[in-house]
Structure 1
Amino acid sequence: MADRANQSFWLGCALLCVTEMLCAVPTRVQAQTAVPPMQAALPAVQAPAFPIVSDARLAGDSRQTRFVLDLDKAVPFRAFVLGDPYRVVVDLPQVSFHLPTGSGTAGRGLIKAFRYGLVLPGGSRIVFDLTGPARIANASVLDSANGQPARLVLELEEVDQASFAQLIGTESRSQPRANVADAGATATALPPGTPPAIQAPAATTPAAPPGPPAPPDGRPVVVIDPGHGGIDNGTQTGEVPEKNLVLAFAQALRDRLEKTGKYRVVMTRDDDTFIPLGDRVRIAQKQSADLFVSIHADALPRGEGDAQGATIYTLSDKASDAEAERLAEDENRADAIGGVNLTEEPTDVADILIDLARRETRTFSNRFARLLMNDMKTAVHMHKRPLKSAGFRVLKAPDVPSVLVELGYVSNKSDMGNLISESWRSRTADAMARAVDSFLAKRIATAAGPRPETKTPARAKP
Structure 2
Amino acid sequence: MHRLRSASTDRIKLARRWTQRLLAGAFLALACCGGAAATSRPASELPVATDARLEQAGEVVRLTLALSQPVPIETSVIAGPDRIVIDLPSVNFQVQPAASRKSAGFVSAFRFGLFTADRARIIIDLSNPALVTKAEMRQRRGGFGELVVEMTRASRGEFQAAVARGRPQQAEPAVAPPAPAAAPADSRQLVVIDPGHGGIDPGAVVAAIAEKAVVLSFGQRLKETLEASGRYRVLMTRDDDRFVSLGDRVKVARAAGADLFVSIHADSLTQAQEVRGATVYTGSERATDAESARLAAKENQADAVGGLEMAEEVQDVAGILMDLAKRETRTFSSVFARNLVEKLGASVKMHKVPLRSAGFKVLGAPDVPSVLIELGYMSSPKDAELLNSEAWRRQAVGAVSAAIDDYFLRERAPAGKAVLNRR
Q: Please indicate the TM-score interval, normalised by the length of the shorter structure.
A: 0.7 to 0.9
Q: What code does the residue aligned with 2:225 have? A: R
Secondary structure at the aligned position of 2:307 is classed as coil
| Matching of residue 163 in structure 1 with residue 158 in structure 2 | yes
Who is 1:333 aligned against?
A: 301
CA distance in 2 between counterparts of 1:275 and 1:86 reads 21
Secondary structure at the aligned position of 1:294 is classed as strand
| Matching of residue 259 in structure 1 with residue 228 in structure 2 | yes
Who is 1:96 aligned against?
A: 92
Q: Deviations over 1:159-192 (max 9, x none)?
A: 21112111114359xxxxxxxxxxxxxxxxxxxx
CA distance in 2 between counterparts of 1:48 and 1:83 reads 35
- Alignment match of 1:234 (pick from 191, 203, 213): 203
CA distance in 1 between counterparts of 2:307 and 2:234 reads 29
CA distance in 1 between counterparts of 2:241 and 2:322 reads 34
Which ranges of 4 or more aligned residues in structure 1 deviate by more than 6 Å? 194-198
CA distance in 1 between counterparts of 2:50 and 2:414 reads 55
Who is 1:377 aligned against?
A: 345
Q: Deviations over 1:374-419 (max 9, x none)?
A: 1111111111110011111000001111000001111112211211
| Matching of residue 398 in structure 1 with residue 366 in structure 2 | yes
Q: What code does the residue aligned with 1:155 have? A: E
CA distance in 2 between counterparts of 1:59 and 1:220 reads 53
Who is 1:37 aligned against?
A: none
Higher relative contact order (CA 8 A, sep 6+): 2
The alpha-carbon deviation at position 150 of structure 1 amounts to 2.1
Secondary structure at the aligned position of 2:157 is classed as helix
Who is 1:38 aligned against?
A: none
CA distance in 1 between counterparts of 2:416 and 2:311 reads 33
Q: What code does the residue aligned with 1:232 have? A: D
Q: Pairwise CA RMSD of aligned residues? A: 2.7
Q: What code does the residue aligned with 1:124 have? A: A
CA distance in 2 between counterparts of 1:286 and 1:397 reads 11
CA distance in 2 between counterparts of 1:392 and 1:113 reads 26
Gaps of 5+ in 2: 1-40, 175-181, 418-423
Who is 1:290 aligned against?
A: 259
The alpha-carbon deviation at position 157 of structure 1 amounts to 2.2
Secondary structure at the aligned position of 2:253 is classed as helix
Q: Deviations over 1:241-300 (max 9, x none)?
A: 111111111111111111121111111011111100000000110011111000011111
Secondary structure at the aligned position of 1:85 is classed as coil
CA distance in 2 between counterparts of 1:331 and 1:289 reads 22
Partners of 1:224 and 1:266 within 8 A in 2: yes
| Matching of residue 243 in structure 1 with residue 238 in structure 2 | no
Who is 2:192 aligned against?
A: 223
Q: Deviations over 1:39-60 (max 9, x none)?
A: xxxxxx9823211112222233
Partners of 1:62 and 1:109 within 8 A in 2: no
| Matching of residue 281 in structure 1 with residue 250 in structure 2 | yes
Who is 2:120 aligned against?
A: 124
Secondary structure at the aligned position of 2:266 is classed as strand
Q: TM-score with structure 2 length normalisation?
A: 0.81
Partners of 1:81 and 1:169 within 8 A in 2: no
Q: Check 1:399–1:343 CA distance in 2 against 1; reply closer, same or farther (3 A cut).
A: farther
CA distance in 2 between counterparts of 1:219 and 1:360 reads 21
The alpha-carbon deviation at position 228 of structure 1 amounts to 0.7
CA distance in 2 between counterparts of 1:417 and 1:46 reads 31
| Matching of residue 86 in structure 1 with residue 82 in structure 2 | yes
Moved more, 151-160 or 262-271: 151-160
Q: Which has the larger radius of gyration?
A: 1
**Which one has a larger percent helix, Structure 1 or Structure 2?**
2
Moved more, 309-318 or 340-349: 340-349
Q: Check 1:312–1:439 CA distance in 2 against 1; reply closer, same or farther (3 A cut).
A: same
The alpha-carbon deviation at position 342 of structure 1 amounts to 7.1
Aligned pair count?
369
- Alignment match of 2:334 (pick from 366, 377, 390): 366
CA distance in 1 between counterparts of 2:121 and 2:146 reads 16
Counterparts of 1:3-402 in structure 2, within 5 Å, are 47-60=43-56, 63-145=59-141, 149-171=144-166, 216-301=185-270, 303-341=271-309, 345-347=313-315, 351-402=319-370
CA distance in 2 between counterparts of 1:75 and 1:106 reads 24
Gaps of 5+ in 1: 1-44, 173-193, 201-212, 449-462
Partners of 1:62 and 1:158 within 8 A in 2: no
Q: What code does the residue aligned with 2:247 have? A: G
Partners of 1:317 and 1:390 within 8 A in 2: yes
Q: Check 1:341–1:415 CA distance in 2 against 1; reply closer, same or farther (3 A cut).
A: same
CA distance in 1 between counterparts of 2:60 and 2:249 reads 38
CA distance in 2 between counterparts of 1:196 and 1:383 reads 37
CA distance in 2 between counterparts of 1:132 and 1:46 reads 38
CA distance in 2 between counterparts of 1:435 and 1:196 reads 36
